[in-house]
Amino acid sequence: MNVEQDRVNRSTWKLPSTVRVYQRLEGWTDPGERAAVEHVAAEAHGKPILDIGVGAGRTIPLLRTISPDYVGIDYTPEMVAACRARHPDARIEHMDARDLSRFEDDHFALAVFSFNGIDAVHMDDRGRVLREVHRVLQHGGLFIVSAHNRNGPGHGERPRLRLDFTWNPLKLAWRTLRLARSLPRSWLNSRRLRMLNETHDDWSIMNCGAHDFGIVVVYTTLAEQKRQLRAAGFGVEAVYDNVAGRLVADDADTRAIWWLHYVARKA
């Protein structure tokens, strides 16, 4: 485990302001997430589902339409508490994806690790997560995981002064105030966390713009992420882009894609 990356990310996700952001989230993050879930929905219908990194529960209504046999987990106690309050009838556990030992082998038909949650885990532990997911999946079970794109526009982003203009004076005043509050935090976090950046050809660890540049995440190329899945015992069935939910071929130009949704199957 990379202690510093873990400490940074957990300290940001437990903030009340971050929890409130996740409490407001609803529906699909993007067309690619929807396409990936629709890819597996019929096969997973009525079967056990594991929802990893559930946050405040955005994915619960989406996945429980597939099956009521559902359990969600998150490694942040504050998110678990918020999720349980928002969805009191759902089973939500405080658990780290690196250790799923409370679940037996070959139990779940579908596992989902959405919103690039696996990217919060350092490369040293990423394979451990994938192997644990593989272990708890049934033979032929399905796994959806999204990951930031090493070659995409989000890689290496920096804070910048950018205001979304509107002719509505109230909205413009609110956006100006929000930018004035967030920009100093973003610059401070970017400078403070820059020392954790690590760049390689196929993957990188970079300070990410989310939460006022308050987290550090892994970026992988399409080829590298597929390699990692294969190394853990998965076959990759489909990859969808986040922009339009289109299938992504191995030789595709991915420079306009922020992150990718991988649909894999336990061999």
| E-state strands within 61-171 | 70-74, 92-94, 108-113, 137-148
Residue 58 belongs to a domain: yes
At residue 167, the pLDDT reads 57
**CATH assignment at residue 37:** 3.40.50.150
Residue 90 maps to a domain: yes
Tell me the CA distances in angstroms from 66 to 1, 38, 80, 163, 221, one per residue in order: 34, 10, 22, 40, 30
Residue type, 79: M
The pLDDT tens digits of the residues spanning 2-16 come to 689 999 999 999 999
Task: Count the neighbouring beta carbons within 10 Å of the beta carbon of residue 104.
Answer: 10
pLDDT of residue 1: 56
The torsion angles phi and psi of 260, rounded to 5 degrees, stand at -125, 145
pLDDT single digits (tens) 221-256 = 999 999 999 999 999 999 999 999 999 999 999 999
Range with lowest mean pLDDT among 60-64, 68-72, 122-126, 222-226:
122-126
pLDDT greater than 70 at residue 161: no
Q: Is the pLDDT of residue 181 over 70?
A: no
Note whether residue 47 is domain-resident.
Answer: yes
User: Which pLDDT belongs to residue 185?
Assistant: 79
Q: What is the mean pLDDT of residues 113-139?
A: 97
Residue 84 belongs to domain spanning = 3-150+217-266
157: helix, strand or coil: coil
Is the residue at 104 inside a domain? Answer: yes
- Token duo for residue 1: 């485990």
**Cβ neighbours for 266, distance < 8 A, ≥ 6 positions apart:** 134, 137, 138, 139, 140, 141, 142, 143, 233, 234
259 in any annotated domain: yes
- The percent of residues above 90 in pLDDT, for the chain, comes to 82
DSSP 8-state code for residue 255? T
User: In total, how many domains does the chain have?
Assistant: 1
Instruction: Tell me, yes or no, whether 168 lies in a domain.
Output: no
Residue 99: predicted pLDDT? 98
Condensed to tens digits (0 to 9), the pLDDT of residues 17-27 reads 999 999 999 99
The string of pLDDT tens digits covering residues 80-121 is: 999 999 999 999 999 999 999 999 999 999 999 999 999 999
Give the percent of the chain with pLDDT over 70.
90
Average pLDDT over the chain, rounded to whole? 92
Mutual angle of helices 3-13 and 16-23, in 10-degree steps: 70
Residue 178 within a domain: no
pLDDT at 258: 97
- 200 part of a folded domain: no
- pLDDT of the residue at 175: 46
